[in-house]
Amino acid sequence: MSKIVDVKVPDIGDFSDVDIIEVLVNPGDVIAEEDPLITLESDKASIEIPSPSSGTVSEVLVKVNDKVNEGDVILRLEVSDSAGDTAPAAEAAAETPAASEAEAAPASDTPPAAAPAPAAASFDGQSDMHAEVVVLGSGPGGYTAAFRAADLGKKVILIEKYDSIGGVCLNVGCIPSKALLHTA
């Protein structure tokens, strides 16, 4: 049995009336969870909106050049109620041969017991800083990740092994971005 669910624009930060520059699916398309549905473009970034679940697109409610906001319905998706029920059954069936092979294997083939792992460092709950997103490394991907997260309203910490953040960057707007980074 299947049901129709409305797919809405998720949290896209502090943006409103964002332009749709690309519709990536059509009615009848079978899509997987996290497949891109539409591409939005603000004055700062392009954002692909992923599918929240797998299913068949039954109706697309938006088109290129439409403006959307968080919570707007972009399409209707037909999802199977039994999709979740069949996955555990398939996993159980896949595990059954492995279990019988393990029983058939002689005991002498078992690997020796591993040494216990060292104890983890303790944490008292106090910290100097708090972040919702931590970006390791300030290379071109690090800059992109940090600025994208900040655009979405997240508190970001950029961790770099060098004393100062810098390097060569060919991205549009890179020099003003670095100036902002160094003054923050």
Q: How confident is the model at residue 2 (pLDDT cuts 50, 70, 90)?
A: confident
Q: Over 70: is that where the pLDDT of 38 sits? A: yes
Catalogue all structural domains in the chain, each as residue range(s) with its CATH number: 2-80 (2.40.50.100), 133-183 (no CATH)
**pLDDT averaged over every residue in the chain:** 76
Q: What tens digit of pLDDT does each residue of 148-164 get?
A: 888 888 998 888 777 76
Tell me the mean pLDDT in the region 160-171. 62
> What is the reported pLDDT for 15?
82
Q: How confident is the model at residue 124 (pLDDT cuts 50, 70, 90)?
A: confident
Is the pTM here over 0.75, yes or no? no
Q: How confident is the model at residue 178 (pLDDT cuts 50, 70, 90)?
A: low
Tell me the mean pLDDT in the region 95-117. 56
The span from the CA of 117 to the CA of 135, in Å, is 27
- Range picked from 56-70, 122-136, 140-154 for highest mean pLDDT: 56-70
Of residues 84 and 119, the one with the higher pLDDT is 119
- Alpha helices for the chain (secondary structure H): 83-104, 140-151, 174-183
The span from the CA of 45 to the CA of 18, in Å, is 10
SS3 84: helix
Q: How far apart are the first and last CA of the chain?
A: 54
Q: How confident is the model at residue 108 (pLDDT cuts 50, 70, 90)?
A: low
